[in-house]
Protein backbone atom coordinates (compact mmCIF):
# COMPACT_ATOMS: atom_id res chain seq x y z
CA UNK A 1 0.00 0.00 0.00
CA UNK A 2 1.68 3.18 -1.10
CA UNK A 3 1.23 6.24 1.00
CA UNK A 4 0.01 9.57 -0.23
CA UNK A 5 2.66 12.21 -0.68
CA UNK A 6 3.08 14.27 2.45
CA UNK A 7 4.48 17.78 1.93
CA UNK A 8 7.60 18.52 3.98
CA UNK A 9 7.08 20.83 6.96
CA UNK A 10 9.21 24.00 7.29
CA UNK A 11 12.82 23.55 8.34
CA UNK A 12 12.11 24.95 11.82
CA UNK A 13 10.14 21.80 12.60
CA UNK A 14 13.22 19.65 12.07
CA UNK A 15 15.29 22.06 14.14
CA UNK A 16 12.84 21.52 17.02
CA UNK A 17 13.01 17.75 16.50
CA UNK A 18 16.79 17.80 16.64
CA UNK A 19 16.86 19.99 19.77
CA UNK A 20 14.29 17.80 21.51
CA UNK A 21 16.33 14.67 20.82
CA UNK A 22 19.43 16.51 22.01
CA UNK A 23 17.71 17.56 25.24
CA UNK A 24 16.35 14.03 25.76
CA UNK A 25 19.67 12.29 25.38
CA UNK A 26 22.23 14.87 26.55
CA UNK A 27 22.00 14.01 30.26
CA UNK A 28 22.26 10.30 29.53
CA UNK A 29 25.32 10.78 27.34
CA UNK A 30 26.97 12.92 30.01
CA UNK A 31 26.18 10.29 32.62
CA UNK A 32 27.80 7.59 30.48
CA UNK A 33 30.93 9.66 30.00
CA UNK A 34 30.97 10.33 33.73
CA UNK A 35 30.93 6.59 34.43
CA UNK A 36 34.19 6.16 32.49
CA UNK A 37 36.06 9.07 34.07
CA UNK A 38 38.46 8.92 36.93
CA UNK A 39 39.85 12.03 38.58
CA UNK A 40 43.43 11.61 39.70
CA UNK A 41 45.01 14.75 41.13
CA UNK A 42 42.91 17.15 39.08
CA UNK A 43 43.53 15.20 35.86
CA UNK A 44 40.83 13.15 34.17
CA UNK A 45 41.59 9.67 32.89
CA UNK A 46 39.50 6.96 31.25
CA UNK A 47 38.76 3.99 33.45
CA UNK A 48 36.52 0.96 33.77
CA UNK A 49 36.94 0.40 37.46
CA UNK A 50 33.62 2.02 38.45
CA UNK A 51 31.89 -0.85 36.68
CA UNK A 52 33.88 -3.32 38.71
CA UNK A 53 32.98 -1.38 41.86
CA UNK A 54 29.27 -1.77 41.15
CA UNK A 55 29.59 -5.55 41.28
CA UNK A 56 31.89 -5.33 44.28
CA UNK A 57 29.19 -3.49 46.23
CA UNK A 58 27.23 -6.28 47.89
CA UNK A 59 24.39 -3.91 48.81
CA UNK A 60 23.83 -3.02 45.16
CA UNK A 61 24.12 -6.63 43.97
CA UNK A 62 21.57 -7.81 46.53
CA UNK A 63 19.23 -4.98 45.47
CA UNK A 64 19.70 -6.00 41.84
CA UNK A 65 18.83 -9.62 42.63
CA UNK A 66 15.76 -8.45 44.52
CA UNK A 67 14.67 -6.24 41.62
CA UNK A 68 15.04 -9.07 39.11
CA UNK A 69 13.18 -11.49 41.38
CA UNK A 70 10.31 -9.05 41.91
CA UNK A 71 10.14 -8.20 38.19
CA UNK A 72 10.12 -11.87 37.11
CA UNK A 73 7.47 -12.88 39.63
CA UNK A 74 5.19 -9.94 38.95
CA UNK A 75 5.43 -10.15 35.18
CA UNK A 76 4.67 -13.88 35.34
CA UNK A 77 1.68 -13.11 37.55
CA UNK A 78 0.40 -10.28 35.42
CA UNK A 79 0.76 -12.24 32.17
CA UNK A 80 -1.07 -15.24 33.65
CA UNK A 81 -3.95 -13.13 34.94
CA UNK A 82 -3.84 -10.86 31.90
CA UNK A 83 -4.13 -13.63 29.33
CA UNK A 84 -7.21 -14.97 31.07
CA UNK A 85 -8.73 -11.52 31.37
CA UNK A 86 -8.03 -10.71 27.71
CA UNK A 87 -9.75 -13.95 26.65
CA UNK A 88 -12.79 -13.13 28.73
CA UNK A 89 -12.82 -9.55 27.49
CA UNK A 90 -12.81 -10.67 23.87
CA UNK A 91 -15.15 -13.62 24.17
CA UNK A 92 -17.01 -13.46 27.46
CA UNK A 93 -20.53 -12.32 28.33
CA UNK A 94 -21.08 -8.65 27.79
CA UNK A 95 -22.23 -7.58 31.24
CA UNK A 96 -19.36 -9.23 33.04
CA UNK A 97 -17.00 -7.96 30.35
CA UNK A 98 -18.00 -4.35 31.02
CA UNK A 99 -17.22 -4.63 34.72
CA UNK A 100 -13.85 -6.19 34.07
CA UNK A 101 -13.05 -3.53 31.49
CA UNK A 102 -14.00 -0.77 33.89
CA UNK A 103 -11.82 -2.16 36.68
CA UNK A 104 -8.88 -2.46 34.31
CA UNK A 105 -9.39 1.10 33.09
CA UNK A 106 -9.63 2.43 36.66
CA UNK A 107 -6.26 0.98 37.52
CA UNK A 108 -4.78 2.63 34.41
CA UNK A 109 -6.10 6.14 35.00
CA UNK A 110 -5.79 6.36 38.77
CA UNK A 111 -2.82 8.63 39.63
CA UNK A 112 0.23 6.54 40.51
CA UNK A 113 0.76 8.27 43.84
CA UNK A 114 -2.87 7.87 44.90
CA UNK A 115 -2.75 4.20 43.90
CA UNK A 116 0.42 3.64 45.91
CA UNK A 117 -1.03 5.30 49.00
CA UNK A 118 -4.37 3.50 48.61
CA UNK A 119 -2.53 0.18 48.55
CA UNK A 120 -0.47 1.19 51.57
CA UNK A 121 -3.68 1.94 53.47
CA UNK A 122 -5.31 -1.25 52.27
CA UNK A 123 -2.41 -3.40 53.42
CA UNK A 124 -2.65 -1.68 56.79
CA UNK A 125 -6.40 -2.26 57.00
CA UNK A 126 -6.18 -5.95 56.11
CA UNK A 127 -3.22 -6.24 58.45
CA UNK A 128 -0.68 -7.44 55.90
CA UNK A 129 2.80 -6.31 56.93
CA UNK A 130 4.91 -4.66 54.24
CA UNK A 131 7.56 -6.80 52.57
CA UNK A 132 8.66 -7.87 49.10
CA UNK A 133 5.42 -9.85 49.00
CA UNK A 134 3.32 -6.66 49.13
CA UNK A 135 5.61 -5.10 46.51
CA UNK A 136 4.93 -8.02 44.17
CA UNK A 137 1.17 -7.72 44.73
CA UNK A 138 1.36 -4.01 43.87
CA UNK A 139 3.48 -4.63 40.77
CA UNK A 140 1.16 -7.34 39.45
CA UNK A 141 -1.72 -4.91 39.88
CA UNK A 142 -0.24 -2.08 37.83
CA UNK A 143 1.26 -4.39 35.17
CA UNK A 144 -2.01 -6.27 34.72
CA UNK A 145 -3.80 -3.54 32.76
CA UNK A 146 -0.86 -3.23 30.37
CA UNK A 147 -0.85 -7.01 29.86
CA UNK A 148 -4.57 -7.00 29.12
CA UNK A 149 -4.08 -4.16 26.62
CA UNK A 150 -1.21 -5.87 24.78
CA UNK A 151 -2.74 -9.35 24.67
CA UNK A 152 -6.25 -8.04 24.02
CA UNK A 153 -4.96 -5.97 21.10
CA UNK A 154 -3.54 -9.09 19.48
CA UNK A 155 -6.67 -11.12 20.26
CA UNK A 156 -8.80 -8.59 18.39
CA UNK A 157 -6.79 -9.14 15.22
CA UNK A 158 -7.20 -12.94 15.27
CA UNK A 159 -9.47 -14.41 12.65
CA UNK A 160 -12.58 -15.79 14.36
CA UNK A 161 -13.22 -18.15 11.48
CA UNK A 162 -10.25 -20.24 12.70
CA UNK A 163 -12.29 -21.06 15.82
CA UNK A 164 -15.32 -21.91 13.70
CA UNK A 165 -13.25 -24.06 11.39
CA UNK A 166 -11.77 -25.98 14.28
CA UNK A 167 -15.18 -26.48 15.81
CA UNK A 168 -16.54 -27.78 12.52
CA UNK A 169 -13.73 -30.31 12.54
CA UNK A 170 -14.86 -31.46 15.98
CA UNK A 171 -12.45 -29.65 18.27
CA UNK A 172 -13.65 -28.99 21.82
CA UNK A 173 -13.54 -25.49 23.29
CA UNK A 174 -10.58 -26.52 25.41
CA UNK A 175 -8.74 -27.78 22.32
CA UNK A 176 -9.50 -24.56 20.43
CA UNK A 177 -8.14 -22.55 23.33
CA UNK A 178 -4.93 -24.54 23.86
CA UNK A 179 -4.18 -25.59 20.29
CA UNK A 180 -5.23 -22.48 18.36
CA UNK A 181 -5.86 -19.33 20.38
CA UNK A 182 -2.98 -19.51 22.89
CA UNK A 183 -0.27 -20.40 20.30
CA UNK A 184 -1.45 -17.52 18.11
CA UNK A 185 -1.27 -15.22 21.12
CA UNK A 186 2.25 -16.32 22.06
CA UNK A 187 4.08 -13.29 20.60
CA UNK A 188 1.74 -10.89 22.40
CA UNK A 189 2.08 -12.88 25.62
CA UNK A 190 5.85 -12.66 25.33
CA UNK A 191 5.88 -8.93 24.66
CA UNK A 192 3.50 -8.28 27.53
CA UNK A 193 5.84 -10.28 29.75
CA UNK A 194 8.77 -8.13 28.65
CA UNK A 195 6.80 -4.91 29.07
CA UNK A 196 5.66 -5.93 32.56
CA UNK A 197 9.23 -6.86 33.42
CA UNK A 198 10.48 -3.41 32.40
CA UNK A 199 7.64 -1.59 34.17
CA UNK A 200 8.25 -3.55 37.35
CA UNK A 201 12.05 -3.38 37.17
CA UNK A 202 11.95 0.40 36.73
CA UNK A 203 9.22 1.21 39.20
CA UNK A 204 10.11 3.53 42.03
CA UNK A 205 7.01 5.21 43.40
CA UNK A 206 4.79 2.21 44.08
CA UNK A 207 7.70 0.19 45.47
CA UNK A 208 8.66 3.11 47.69
CA UNK A 209 5.31 3.01 49.47
CA UNK A 210 4.57 -0.70 49.57
CA UNK A 211 8.06 -1.84 50.52
CA UNK A 212 8.97 -3.19 53.93
CA UNK A 213 12.14 -2.22 55.80
CA UNK A 214 15.44 -3.70 54.66
CA UNK A 215 14.28 -4.93 51.27
CA UNK A 216 15.23 -2.08 48.95
CA UNK A 217 15.05 -2.69 45.22
CA UNK A 218 17.50 -1.06 42.83
CA UNK A 219 15.42 2.07 42.04
CA UNK A 220 14.96 2.66 45.78
CA UNK A 221 18.73 2.41 46.28
CA UNK A 222 19.19 4.85 43.39
CA UNK A 223 16.74 7.29 44.99
CA UNK A 224 18.74 7.19 48.19
CA UNK A 225 22.02 7.80 46.42
CA UNK A 226 20.61 10.65 44.31
CA UNK A 227 19.67 12.36 47.56
CA UNK A 228 23.25 12.11 48.77
CA UNK A 229 24.97 13.11 45.54
CA UNK A 230 26.54 12.16 42.23
CA UNK A 231 29.23 9.47 42.11
CA UNK A 232 30.82 7.75 39.10
CA UNK A 233 29.87 4.38 40.60
CA UNK A 234 26.16 5.24 40.50
CA UNK A 235 26.71 6.59 36.97
CA UNK A 236 28.15 3.21 35.99
CA UNK A 237 25.19 1.39 37.54
CA UNK A 238 22.69 3.73 35.86
CA UNK A 239 24.42 3.41 32.48
CA UNK A 240 24.17 -0.36 32.69
CA UNK A 241 20.50 -0.23 33.69
CA UNK A 242 19.78 2.17 30.83
CA UNK A 243 21.55 0.01 28.24
CA UNK A 244 19.79 -3.07 29.60
CA UNK A 245 16.37 -1.44 29.10
CA UNK A 246 17.30 -0.28 25.61
CA UNK A 247 18.50 -3.76 24.63
CA UNK A 248 15.28 -5.31 25.88
CA UNK A 249 13.25 -2.74 23.92
CA UNK A 250 15.18 -3.46 20.74
CA UNK A 251 14.73 -7.18 21.35
CA UNK A 252 11.01 -6.66 21.54
CA UNK A 253 9.76 -6.45 17.99
CA UNK A 254 6.23 -5.61 18.99
CA UNK A 255 7.11 -2.42 20.79
CA UNK A 256 5.87 -0.15 18.03
CA UNK A 257 2.83 -2.38 17.64
CA UNK A 258 2.08 -1.84 21.29
CA UNK A 259 1.94 1.90 20.85
CA UNK A 260 -0.12 1.60 17.72
CA UNK A 261 -2.68 -0.61 19.40
CA UNK A 262 -2.87 1.58 22.46
CA UNK A 263 -4.11 4.66 20.64
CA UNK A 264 -7.11 4.05 18.52
Partner 1 sequence: MSSDDKRDKRGLKIFKNRLNWPGVPAFTWFFIFVFLPTLIVLVLSFMKRGTYGGIEWQGQWENYGRLWDTTYFKIFWESLKLASSTATLCFLLGFPVAWAIATVGQRWRNILLLMIAIPFLTNLMIRVYAIKVLMGQDGPIQWLLASLGIPFDPFQLSQNKALVIYGMTTTYLPFMVFPLYSALEKFDFGLVEAAQDLRASSWTIATKIILPNIRQGVANGLILVFVPCMGEFVIPDLLGGAKVMLLGNVLTEQFLKFRHWPFGAAISCFLIMCLLFFPWLINRLVVGNKKLYGEKSP
Considering only residues 230-249, where is the footprint of partner 1 by CB under 8 A?
230, 234-235, 238, 241-242, 245-246, 249
Q: Which of 1, 114, 170, 213 binds partner 1 (CB under 8 A)?
A: 114
Q: Which of 72, 76, 81, 171 binds partner 1 (CB under 8 A)?
A: 81
Annotate each residue in 44-63 with x if it binds partner 1 (CB under 8 A) or - if it does not, as one string. --------------------
Neighbours of 44 (CB within 10 A): 11
- Residue 41 interacting with partner 1 (CB under 8 A): no
List of residues 6+ apart from 149 with CB closer than 8 A: 258, 261, 262
Stretch that binds partner 1, among 8-16, 47-55, 56-64, 68-76 (CB under 8 A): 8-16
Considering the complex, state which of residue 117 and residue 190 has its C-beta at the smaller distance from partner 1: 117
Q: Which of 52, 56, 84, 251 binds partner 1 (CB under 8 A)?
A: 84
Q: Which of 60, 70, 135, 140 binds partner 1 (CB under 8 A)?
A: 140
- Residue 21 interacting with partner 1 (CB under 8 A): yes
- Residue 58 CB, nearest distance to partner 1 (Å)? 20
Q: Which of 167, 179, 186, 251 binds partner 1 (CB under 8 A)?
A: 167
Considering the complex, state which of residue 49 and residue 253 has its C-beta at the smaller distance from partner 1: 253
Three-state SS for the chain is: CCCCCCCCCCHHHHHHHHHHHHHHHHHHHHHHHHHCEEEECCEEEECCHHHHHHHHCHHHHHHHHHHHHHHHHHHHHHHHHHHHHHHHHHHCCHHHHHHHHHHHHHHHHCCHHHHHHHHHHHHHHCCCCCCHHHHHHHHHHHHHHHHHHHHHHHHHHCCHHHHHHHHHCCCCHHHHHHHHHHHHHHHHHHHHHHHHHHHHHHCCHHHHHHCCCCCCCHHHHHHHHHHHCCCHHHHHHHHHHHHHHHHHHHHCCCHHHHHHHHCC
- 85 phi and psi, to 5 degrees? -65, -40
- Within 87-106, the residues that bind partner 1 by CB under 8 A are 87-89, 91-93, 96-97, 99-100, 103-104, 106
- Residue 204 CB, nearest distance to partner 1 (Å)? 5
Considering the complex, state which of residue 6 and residue 213 has its C-beta at the smaller distance from partner 1: 6
Count Cα atoms within 13 angstroms, Cβ side, for 3.
3
Q: Which of 129, 186, 226, 251 binds partner 1 (CB under 8 A)?
A: 226
Stretch that binds partner 1, among 24-32, 50-58, 68-76, 184-192 (CB under 8 A): 24-32
Q: Which of 61, 110, 162, 186 binds partner 1 (CB under 8 A)?
A: 110
Amino acid sequence: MSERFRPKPPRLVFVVLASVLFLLYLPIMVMMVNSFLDKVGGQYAWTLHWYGDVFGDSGLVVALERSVMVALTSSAGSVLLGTGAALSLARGDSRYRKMLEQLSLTSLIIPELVFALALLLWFFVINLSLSLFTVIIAHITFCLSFSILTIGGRLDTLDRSLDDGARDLGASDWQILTKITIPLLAPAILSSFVLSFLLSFDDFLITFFTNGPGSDTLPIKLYGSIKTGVTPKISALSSMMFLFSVLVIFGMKDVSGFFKSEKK
